[in-house]
Structure 1
Amino acid sequence: MQIKLTISRNLTILQGNSATGKTTLIELIAAYDELGEDSGAFVNCAAPCKVLAGRNWMHDLAAIENSIVFVDEDNAFMRTYEFAHAARHSSNYYVLVARESLPQLPYSVDEIYGLRNTNRSTTKYPVYSRTYASTYRVYGDASFDGSRPDVVVVEDSNSGFEFFNALCKRSGIPCISAGGKSNVYNAVLERQESNVLVIADGAAFGPEMELLTSLQRFKNIQLFLPESFEWLVLQSGLFNDKQTRDMLANPAAYIESESFFSWEQFFTHELIEKTQGTYLAYDKSKLSSAYLDDHVSKKIEGRLPQLGL
Structure 2
Amino acid sequence: MTGKYRIIIQNKRIRYDFEIKRNITIIRGDSATGKTVLVDMVREYYENGVESGIKLQCNKSCVVLEGRNWKMQLASIKNSIVFIDEVSGFVSSKDFASELQKTDNYYVIVTRESLSTLPYSVNEIYGIRNSGKYGSLKQTYNELYQLYGKGNFLNEVRPDTVLTEDANSGYQFFYTICKKRRLECISAKGKSNIFSYLTKHNVGKILVIADGAAFGAEMEKVIKLMEIREDIVLYLPESFEWLILKSGVIHDSELPAFLDAPYDYAESSKYLSWERYFTELIVKKTQGTYLRYSKHILNEVYVHIEIADRILENMENINLYWKDSCHGDGDILTDGRVSHDNV
TM-score range, shorter chain: over 0.9
In the other structure, the counterpart of 2:317 is 306
Aligned-pair CA distance for 1:62: 0.2
User: Counterparts of 1:222 and 1:4 in 2: how far apart (Å)?
Assistant: 33
CA apart distance, 1:20: 1.9
Find the counterpart in structure 2 of residue 130 from structure 1.
139
For residues 198-225 of structure 1, give each alpha carbon's deviation from its aligned partner in whole angstroms, at most 9, with x where no partner exists: 1000000000001111211332211100
CA distance in structure 1 between the aligned counterparts of 2:200 and 2:273, rounded to whole angstroms: 29
Moved more, 243-252 or 17-26: 17-26
Match of 2:306 among 280, 295, 309: 295
Of the candidates 196, 209, 227, which is equivalent to residue 199 of structure 1?
Answer: 209
User: Where in structure 2 are there 5+ consecutive unaligned residues?
Assistant: 1-13, 321-343
Between 97-106 and 231-240, report the one with greater CA deviation: 231-240
When normalised by structure 2's length, the TM-score is 0.86
- Aligned with residue 168 of structure 2, among 158, 161, 173: 158
Counterparts of 1:58 and 1:120, CA distance in 2: 39
3-state SS of paired residue (2:224): helix
| 1:103-182 to 2 correspondences below 5 Å | 103-120=116-133, 129-144=138-153, 145-182=155-192
Aligned equivalent of 1:254, options 227, 243, 265: 265
Q: Determine the C-alpha separation between the residues in 1 that align with 2:18 and 2:152.
A: 26
CA distance in 2, matches of 1:70, 1:91: 14
Q: Are the equivalent residues in 1 in contact too, given 2:177–2:303 (CA < 8 A)? A: no
Give the Cα separation in 1 of the matches to 2:97 and 2:107. 11
Distance in 2 of aligned mates of 1:130 and 1:259: 40
Task: Give deviations 1:173-197, integer Å, cap 9, x for gaps.
Answer: 2111000100110111121224211
| Gapped regions of structure 1 (runs ≥ 5) | none
1:235 partner SS: helix
SS in 2 for 1:115: strand
Q: Secondary structure at the match of 1:12?
A: strand
TM-score by length of 1: 0.95
Tell me how far apart the structure 2 counterparts of residues 161 and 14 of structure 1 sit (CA, whole Å): 31
CA distance in 2, matches of 1:141, 1:273: 27
Q: Which has the larger radius of gyration?
A: 2
3-state SS of 2:18 partner: coil
Which residue of the partner structure matches residue 200 of structure 2?
190
Q: Indicate the residue corresponding to 1:235 in structure 2.
A: 246
Q: Write the letter of the residue equivalent to 1:119.
A: G
Moved more, 87-96 or 273-282: 273-282
Q: CA deviation at 1:85?
A: 0.6
**Take 2:200 and 2:142, find their aligned partners in 1: how far apart are those partners?**
41
In percent, how many aligned pairs have the same letter?
A: 45
> What letter is aligned with 1:137?
Q
* Partner AA of 1:269 in structure 2: E
